[in-house]
Chains A and B, each alone.
Chain A
Amino acid sequence: MALNERNAGNTSGDAERDPRLDRLYRGAGRDTPPARLDAAILAAAHREVGARPRSLTSTLRRWHVPVSIAAVVIVSVSLVILLREEGGEQIVPAPVPAVAPPAEQPAAPGRQPALAEAARETTQPQAAAPAPPRRGSRDDAKAPAVLGKRADSAQPEPGPPSMSGAGIVATPESAAKPLPQPFLATPRVAEERAAPSPGDAVTAGKMAGALSVPSEPLVARSAAEAPQAKSMARAVQMKPPEQDRLPVWYGFEKEPPQKWLVRIEELKRQGRAVEAEEMLAEFKRRFPEHPLPPGSK
């Protein structure tokens, strides 16, 4: 190798730059691309930016944090609303004692609005909750807060005289009584309750009658008992529809065929022919090989 020692020594260390060569190279010529090339490239660059929208990745990169924050906020608010709505049914406020002794109330007729206000305040957490109107419990949710109004609004509605403004107070016992079939919360009934209709008015009137108070002394009592009545009424409403329509053969699933036949005979004897037929059909389905009694074929 002809590389002499002096040159090798010059290049072995910090020899990647040579000031003299740098200077000479700088003066060697400053060739530049032709102007038409500049114009073409710049036009292409501008066209690229103007023609194409920003790529998805760059857009996502830019909006990554704001979108994430917004998503978290939306999910959080939705959860809070949902939990408040669902949790509100379980967190029933403790019944407050009567606001004023019944004896004092007749003496101060002007206090009726104040009492109503007090009753409203006792139920304020639920009334103030921004729960959206729920189909099955829309009227019930408002019941404690608008007791007085409900009584008024229920009066003109066409309802049974015995139920409308008859002074029926919602007690746990009355709430536990079996309710008329239309009152049960089947999906169809829930739909009807959601949309105002004459039937709905009747039902609302019944509810109003059940929760309304005819006279002032009962206002406080109603206010105290309304949450209980409300929760119980809601419990009735929240019964699954399957329990309302138990099949006639319910409970006989594991019974032998003989017991089925005995039950069918009983139903027939009781004149419940439809139910007997229903149970017989189920019997045939379950025990196709079992011989049927002569009268059942």
Chain B
Amino acid sequence: MTLSAESTDETLMLLYRDGDAGAFDALYARHKGGLYRYLLRQCRNAAAAEELFQDVWMNLIRARAGYSVQAKFTTYLYRLAHNRLIDHYRKNSHVAMVSFEAEDCEAIAELPDERERPQDETLDAKRQAGRLMELIAGLPEAQREAFLLQQEGSMSVEEIAQATGVTRETAKSRLRYAMVKLRQGMLGWR
């Protein structure tokens, strides 16, 4: 087991567990961006996101000795992040956690019907992306988390379910509603 560019995340983590600091560097380089964006877009506060980000990686570093491959590394990493995020929500009780407890699937009715926007309105990609980010921020936390895990962690429904500790059906439902809302919100933005 040696360090190479083709090494899987799991191999890198095993190497790091066994004392190869270079493996951690490679692992960190692969996942720092996705994890940071996941946290940033979930808590919508750069300072809090940085603190959470550091905590997650420190937890990973501390847990290295007991690491064994039981799931994809991304699932393991984002599971740590999810748990840290839940702690953050609990400590900051002013942060709404409603959507983690109630699925909030009816909220889609409140979205403005973007199809009413003129179809000939052409917007550049930057503005479309901005619109998408607004829509993502407006999603309930659980649905937003499912979407972000799919995008940033390249995770399947099953992996999202594992990382967030819910059933596959729940994860699939959250992701589906998130996609519906985002598609609906972007209908006139093309």
Is B132 touching A11 in the complex (CB atoms < 8 A)? no
Q: How far is the CA of A3 from the CA of B54 in the complex (A)?
A: 40
Q: Which of A16, A41, A46 contacts B172 (CB 8 A)?
A: A16
Chain B 78-106 against A: per-residue CB contact (8 Å), 1 yes, 0 no?
A: 00000000000000000000000000011
Which residues of chain A from 215 to 255 have any CB-CB distance to chain B below 8 Å in the complex?
A: none
**B139 contacts the other chain (Cβ, under 8 Å)?**
no
* Chain B facing A: main interface SS: helix
Q: Which of B24, B64, B129, B184 contacts A28 (CB 8 A)?
A: B129
Specify which chain A residues have a CB less than 8 angstroms from the CB of B176 in the assembled complex: 11-12, 15-16
Q: How far is the CA of A8 from the CA of B33 in the complex (A)?
A: 33
Chain B residue nearest to A34 (CB atoms) is B50
Is B61 touching A48 in the complex (CB atoms < 8 A)? yes
Q: Which of B17, B54, B105, B109 contacts A37 (CB 8 A)?
A: B54
Is A55 touching B65 in the complex (CB atoms < 8 A)? yes
Chain A 24-39 against B: per-residue CB contact (8 Å), 1 yes, 0 no?
A: 1101111111100110
Indicate whether A16 sits within 8 Å of B24 (C-beta atoms), given known contacts A49-B16, A57-B66.
Answer: no
Is A37 touching B50 in the complex (CB atoms < 8 A)? yes
**A58 contacts the other chain (Cβ, under 8 Å)?**
yes
Q: Which of B53, B151, B157 contacts A33 (CB 8 A)?
A: B53
Chain B 101-138 against A: per-residue CB contact (8 Å), 1 yes, 0 no?
A: 00001101100000000000000011011101100100
Specify which chain B residues have a CB less than 8 angstroms from the CB of A27 in the assembled complex: 125-126, 128-129
Is B21 touching A18 in the complex (CB atoms < 8 A)? no
Chain A residue nearest to B20 (CB atoms) is A49
Q: How far is the CA of A27 from the CA of B20 in the complex (A)?
A: 35
**B32 contacts the other chain (Cβ, under 8 Å)?**
yes
Q: How far is the CA of A31 from the CA of B43 in the complex (A)?
A: 14
Q: How far is the CB of A66 from chain B (nearest CB, A)?
A: 15
Chain B: interface residue total (CB-CB under 8 A): 50
Interface size class of A (residues with CB under 8 A): 35 or more
Is B109 touching A2 in the complex (CB atoms < 8 A)? yes
Q: How far is the CA of A45 from the CA of B28 in the complex (A)?
A: 10
Q: Which of B33, B106, B130 contacts A32 (CB 8 A)?
A: B33
Specify which chain A residues have a CB less than 8 angstroms from the CB of B130 in the assembled complex: 28
Is B53 touching A45 in the complex (CB atoms < 8 A)? no
Q: How far is the CB of B26 from chain A (nearest CB, A)?
A: 11
Q: How far is the CB of B82 from chain A (nearest CB, A)?
A: 18
Is B180 touching A42 in the complex (CB atoms < 8 A)? no
**B163 contacts the other chain (Cβ, under 8 Å)?**
no
Chain B 151-169 against A: per-residue CB contact (8 Å), 1 yes, 0 no?
A: 1000011000000000000
Which residues of chain A from 48 to 87 have any CB-CB distance to chain B below 8 Å in the complex?
A: 48-50, 54-55, 57-58, 62
Chain A 1-28 against B: per-residue CB contact (8 Å), 1 yes, 0 no?
A: 1110001101110011110111011011
Specify which chain B residues have a CB less than 8 angstroms from the CB of A40 in the assembled complex: 54
Q: How far is the CA of A11 from the CA of B181 in the complex (A)?
A: 11
Chain B 13-27 against A: per-residue CB contact (8 Å), 1 yes, 0 no?
A: 000111111001100
Is B58 touching A41 in the complex (CB atoms < 8 A)? yes
Q: How far is the CA of A55 from the CA of B62 in the complex (A)?
A: 12
Is B19 touching A54 in the complex (CB atoms < 8 A)? yes
Is A24 touching B58 in the complex (CB atoms < 8 A)? no
Specify which chain A residues have a CB less than 8 angstroms from the CB of B76 in the assembled complex: none
**B57 contacts the other chain (Cβ, under 8 Å)?**
yes
Q: Which of A16, A24, A57 contacts B179 (CB 8 A)?
A: A16
Is B183 touching A10 in the complex (CB atoms < 8 A)? yes
Specify which chain A residues have a CB less than 8 angstroms from the CB of B66 in the assembled complex: 55, 57
**A44 contacts the other chain (Cβ, under 8 Å)?**
yes
Q: Which of B108, B151, B172 contacts A25 (CB 8 A)?
A: B151
Pick the most buried of A7, A28, A50, A57: most chain B CB atoms within 10 A of its CB.
A28
Is B28 touching A42 in the complex (CB atoms < 8 A)? yes
Specify which chain A residues have a CB less than 8 angstroms from the CB of B28 in the assembled complex: 38, 41-42, 45
5 A-B Cβ contacts within 8 A? Answer: A24-B125, A30-B33, A31-B40, A45-B57, A58-B18
| Chain B contacts to A: CB under 8 angstroms | 16-21, 24-25, 28, 32-33, 36-37, 40, 50, 53-54, 57-58, 61-62, 64-66, 105-106, 108-109, 125-126, 128-130, 132-133, 136, 150-151, 156-157, 172, 175-176, 179-180, 182-184, 186, 190
| Chain A contacts to B: CB under 8 angstroms | 1-3, 7-8, 10-12, 15-18, 20-22, 24-25, 27-34, 37-38, 40-42, 44-46, 48-50, 54-55, 57-58, 62
3 residue pairs, one from A and one from B, having the closest CB atoms: A2-B109, A55-B65, A28-B129
